[in-house]
Copies of this chain bind each other. A is one copy, B any other.
């Protein structure tokens, strides 16, 4: 088999996380669960969940937002789509992907199916997200720029390896098999296809791991071999992708979202917020400077739907200047797209490119009657883990209310890790209604 496949499989099978990486994984499971619960009533969430409930089947794993159990693959599909419905979940900028929405639903579903304990679930999720980031780096920017959605593509490999760990399956076979099934296009952004991409990654990973456990024989170098996934999907085969694998956890550098819109817009928001409050009427023009790669992602100049608004530098800049709460889900509405005050401000925003800027940074220049002010922000700037935990708890509180957020926190911070069944019960919505 391919060297890359072999190393990934060995890593997924036996690696042990560090204290820091495991703490970050807990925070991401917590944040993933908060986003999933908050998104459980979104149209795409209802639609995919209704479909898997109609299909029904063996009661292997739980669903977010319904007290029903379905086959693990189906739970992974629905919960992946549900948890990405709000686009509010974590992101890793090394490959530009959302690791948790593809990997955690697969790991949770297979942990429930196999009766795995909290520790096994946490470890599987951690090796899965780390593997997805490494795969994403190996596929590289050429893959992303070609049009592939790393969340879905790299995510499927992470989900397959997390599943292989839980099932004791041959990880290289799971990788070889998911190579012929991993998919997901960025051109779906702004539609239900984007969250669905996370669901298919989780489901494909779960299915590949289960088939590998049954003895399926695929091409062992289907990922990194001749005409394998990498070669056929614009992969750059980055040589350093696996450097330090198992010793250094790239997942520790994951970003969490504190605004309910595309990750590419978060640095701009943080930068602009340092210049507010100001009187929107005095704003003559705003220039947003960003790395060129974001232009195809989140530069919808005049979005017409709440979903589109999440991918619009111009409208979001207008929202920040107008003092709207970009952390709140309701801010990104169809109505906001035609709000005369926002549209007038939006039309004064120009998006420009600064090649010299890191992809995690943005710079803004606001010209008013009295002169120009400038600010910048880099999402890669260190955020102490305790500060991060605090901000994530605050985010969960605003999404779920303080009672539910507290209960979720408790479940994710339990001594051994988040218990799959206890977490599943919380996600089903059991016992939460009295406070919701």
A positions within 8 Å CB-CB of B: 44, 47-48, 50-51, 54-58, 70-71, 73-74, 146-149, 152, 176-177, 179-188, 190-193, 196-197, 200, 207, 210-211, 214-219, 221-222, 225-229, 231-234, 296
Contact = CB atoms under 8 A, between A and B. Distances in A.
B211 A197 contact: no
A366 to B, nearest CB: 32
Contact of A211 (B47, B57, B177, B188): B47
Given A54-B58, A211-B47, A222 B187 contact: yes
18 contacts: A47-B211, A47-B215, A51-B214, A55-B74, A56-B56, A147-B227, A180-B185, A180-B193, A181-B183, A185-B228, A186-B227, A187-B221, A187-B222, A187-B226, A187-B227, A190-B219, A193-B222, A227-B296
A191 B219 contact: yes
Q: How many copies make up the complex? A: 2
A149 to B, nearest CB: 8
A178 to B, nearest CB: 10
A193 B218 contact: yes
A414 to B, nearest CB: 30
Contact of A191 (B148, B218, B296): B218
A378 to B, nearest CB: 28
A364 to B, nearest CB: 28
Contacts of A197: 180
A54 B72 CA distance: 11
A34 to B, nearest CB: 25
A4 to B, nearest CB: 14
A94 B227 CA distance: 22
Given A180-B196, A181-B200, A196-B177, A47 B216 contact: yes
A57 B60 CA distance: 12
5 smallest CB-CB distances across A and B, nearest first, come from A57-B57, A147-B227, A55-B71, A147-B232, A193-B218
A47 B215 CA distance: 8
A214 B78 CA distance: 15
A232 B180 contact: no
Residue of A57, A152, A183, A215 with most partner-chain B CB within 10 A: A183
A185 B58 contact: no
A187 B228 contact: yes
Residue of A179, A193, A197 with most partner-chain B CB within 10 A: A193
A222 B186 CA distance: 9
A264 to B, nearest CB: 16
A196 B48 CA distance: 24
A116 to B, nearest CB: 18
Contacts of A184: 180-181
A193 B219 contact: yes
Given A58-B56, A192-B216, A200-B181, A225 B71 contact: no
B191 A217 contact: yes
A85 to B, nearest CB: 13
A221 B190 CA distance: 13
